[in-house]
């Protein structure tokens, strides 16, 4: 059967033939794979560039997917017993399979799972967001950040503030307040000060931060939040992505002079069972409120074009 594999750390994907599953145990199911989202996370894990990566190669690409059981039931799945999800058939433990809601498009189901899970897991299982709270989404111009605005509202946020580089993209999110860093270099002192002033105008009301960027923008956010909230209330700062940098400078005074709680949300900071529940929650919201994300689809034979296509709109590989 066909599969997409990487043969060494840092390598490029190749379409290859691998043996079809030979046996299925009583606590497992065989899934005919139909659609797999090629997320940035899936690519980094496969190439050995993520903290959860292992050094075993060749490696089948893909962290999760959507397919059908033998009777045609559409399902979401992750954690195949033999590795990745970009193969025509996979064997999956029964407890890692979710039946999809009636009528949910398979490509949308594949595309929604990871970005939707990122915000639901962060808001529900890490920040424990409460109705009426103010949520600031740092980096809301991508698929995950834009979807997070909608999900934050559906989970009860009273006010949503978004930041990002492109003002036009932020304007499409439907957030209450938009703060763009377009034209600014956040590594430069004057530009940092200008951006900090914009953040400072709204910082005192922030209860939860979902940070998809890290880097300089996170440094500025933490500093301003510490000064503006001081001891008034707790701010839960949830780190999710690092598109703007993998490290920051964090003065000790930021933590000592505020009630900021720093935490992460990801593959090992949230239990696997909770991540699965978060995805189920996303699908329930999608069915009830018609949540969708922009999708670009590629047949599995065109993996190289898909690999280089970027992820906005979301890249989905189909069999």
On the question of pLDDT at 310 being above 90, the answer is: no
Q: How confident is the model at residue 51 (pLDDT cuts 50, 70, 90)?
A: confident
- DSSP for residue 20: P
On the question of pLDDT at 55 being above 90, the answer is: no
Instruction: Flag whether the pTM goes above 0.75.
Output: yes
CB burial of residue 113 (10 Å; 0-12, 13-18, 19+): buried
| DSSP per-residue codes, 34-99 | EEEE--HHHHHHHTT-STT----SSEE--SEEEEE-TT--EEEEE--TTS-S-BSEEEEEGGGEEE
| Model pLDDT for residues 59-77, shown as the tens digit of each residue | 999 999 999 999 999 999 9
Can you tell me the distance from the alpha carbon of 209 to that of 126, in angstroms, rounded to the nearest whole number? 11
On the question of pLDDT at 108 being above 90, the answer is: yes
Q: Are 241 and 212 in contact (CB under 8 A)?
A: yes
- DSSP for residue 100: P
Provide the pLDDT for residue 52.
86
Q: How confident is the model at residue 186 (pLDDT cuts 50, 70, 90)?
A: very high
Enter the tokens of residue 293. Answer: 């994300």
Pair type for strands 97-99 and 177-180: unpaired
On the question of pLDDT at 283 being above 90, the answer is: yes
On the question of pLDDT at 312 being above 90, the answer is: no
| Model pLDDT for residues 210-223, shown as the tens digit of each residue | 999 999 999 999 99
Provide the pLDDT for residue 282.
98
Provide the pLDDT for residue 113.
97
Pair type for strands 97-99 and 59-60: unpaired
């Amino acid at each position: 059967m066909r599969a997409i594999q990487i043969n060494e750390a840092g390598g490029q994907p190749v379409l290859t033939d691998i043996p079809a599953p030979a046996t299925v145990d009583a606590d497992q199911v065989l899934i005919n794979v139909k659609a797999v989202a090629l997320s940035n996370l899936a690519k980094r894990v496969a190439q050995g560039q993520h903290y959860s990566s292992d050094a075993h190669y060749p490696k089948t690409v893909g962290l999760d997917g959507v397919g059908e059981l033998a009777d045609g039931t559409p399902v979401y799945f992750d954690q195949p017993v033999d590795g990745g999800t970009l193969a025509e058939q996979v064997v999956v433990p029964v407890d890692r399979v979710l039946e999809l809601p009636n009528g949910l498009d398979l490509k949308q189901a594949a595309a929604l799972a990871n970005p939707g899970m990122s915000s639901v897991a962060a808001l529900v299982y890490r920040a424990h967001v409460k109705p009426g709270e103010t949520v600031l989404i740092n980096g809301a111009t991508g698929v995950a950040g834009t979807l997070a605005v909608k999900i934050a509202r559906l989970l009860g946020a009273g006010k949503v503030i978004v930041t990002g580089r492109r003002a036009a993209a932020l304007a499409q999110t439907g957030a209450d307040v938009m703060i763009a860093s377009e034209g600014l270099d956040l590594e430069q002192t004057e530009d940092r000060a200008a951006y900090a002033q914009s953040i400072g105008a709204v910082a005192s009301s922030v209860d939860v931060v979902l940070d998809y960027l890290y880097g300089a923008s996170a440094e500025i956010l933490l500093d301003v939040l510490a000064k503006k909230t001081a001891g008034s209330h707790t701010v839960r700062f949830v780190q999710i992505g690092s598109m703007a940098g993998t490290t920051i400078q964090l003065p000790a005074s930021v933590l000592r002079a505020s009630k900021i709680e720093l935490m992460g949300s990801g593959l090992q900071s949230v239990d696997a069972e909770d991540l699965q529940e978060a995805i189920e929650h996303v699908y329930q919201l999608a069915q009830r409120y018609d949540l969708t994300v922009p999708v670009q689809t590629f047949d599995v034979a065109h993996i190289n074009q898909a690999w280089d296509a970027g992820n906005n709109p979301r890249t989905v590989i189909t069999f």
